[in-house]
Amino acid sequence: MEAMPRELWPARLHHLRRDSPKPEPLARFYGELLGDPVGPLADGSWLVAGRGRRLVVGQGAVASVPYFAFELQDAAHLSAYRLQWSKTEAFSSPLFADGAFAVHDPDGRRVAFGIPKGTDAPNGLPGRLQHFVCATTRLSEMLEFYRRLGMVESDRVLEGNELSAVFLRSDPEHHSFAAFRAPDSRPDHHCYETTGWLDIRDWADRMGRLRIPLWWGPGRHGPGNNLFFMIEDPDGHKVEFSAELELMPKDMAHRTWPHESRTLNLWGSAWMRS
């Protein structure tokens, strides 16, 4: 792999795929959770899509996320970015125009890049798909890979001299990807960014009506300084709702946080992955 970071900036998370042995009930769960329509796709997977968010739900291992996909600025950005890779594979998605491609990260997960096609339906409460987070056994390797991919490190968490979490951005939003050190590599959560704290109230009220208990929060993360709560989907994969995520210019240096519960929740108890 080339030593210099590639020119990804600015790019945003556009969609991801959540797999399960029984995809249709999971797609229906997300449709109800988000208030978004659910429809079948040609390859047998399901699309749950609303305002600023799209989730492909397919057949696969329980709680898995086989890929996540970034939206680049335009076709010129996409083709220039692709030229910076020596090896890519075609990425076929009903949500992206021709020319999309993917690479594999050190955990084997595909990271896709493309230009969206179609328009969003204005359904449900505001919550734009904003970041994806995984747990990994090879955190340093993942940090190196995602930096060379063109992401910029925003914050890192250290236990002594050892990395325990990294947060990376692909536009001024604090992170569109993050990774936690853990005993096994797996998806961790994905997040919907809302327009403010009152949206967090409205989403939590929605969870109440749906009898979906809040799993963690409300709280405020140290890295990103965002207000949040999380719930679990039926496979135990976590789903986060967030507000007021910090903005950082491209050239701002990363900060360092200690590996302690207060870093993950300035207000109280935390979910420690290691």
CB of 57 vs Fe ion, minimal distance in Å: 20
Closer by beta carbon to Fe ion, 106 or else 217: 217
Q: Please return the burial class of 254, using the count of CB atoms within 10 Å of its CB with bins 0-12, 13-18 and 19+.
A: middle
Cα dihedral angle (15, 17, 18, 24), rounded to 10 degrees?
A: 100
CB of 118 vs Fe ion, minimal distance in Å: 27
Contact code string over 78-97 relative to Fe ion, x by CB under 5 A: --------------------
Closer by beta carbon to Fe ion, 71 or else 240: 240
Q: Please return the burial class of 250, using the count of CB atoms within 10 Å of its CB with bins 0-12, 13-18 and 19+.
A: exposed
Closer by beta carbon to Fe ion, 114 or else 223: 223
Task: Indicate the helix (H) or strand (E) that contains 70.
Answer: strand 64-71
With contacts defined by CB under 5 A, name the span among 5-13, 24-32, 37-45, 236-244 that binds Fe ion.
Answer: 236-244
Contact code string over 105-144 relative to Fe ion, x by CB under 5 A: ----------------------------------------
With contacts defined by CB under 5 A, name the span among 34-42, 166-174, 190-198, 252-260 that binds Fe ion.
Answer: 190-198
Rounded to whole angstroms, how far apart are CA atoms 222 and 151?
A: 20
Rounded to whole angstroms, how far apart are CA atoms 175 and 223?
A: 9
Token look-up 């790019």 returns 11
191 binds Fe ion (CB under 5 A): yes
Judged by CB under 5 A, which of 240, 241, 263, 270 binds Fe ion? 240
Task: Indicate the helix (H) or strand (E) that contains 32.
Answer: helix 23-34
Number of residues that bind Fe ion (CB under 5 A): 2
Name the residues that contact Fe ion, by CB under 5 A.
191, 240
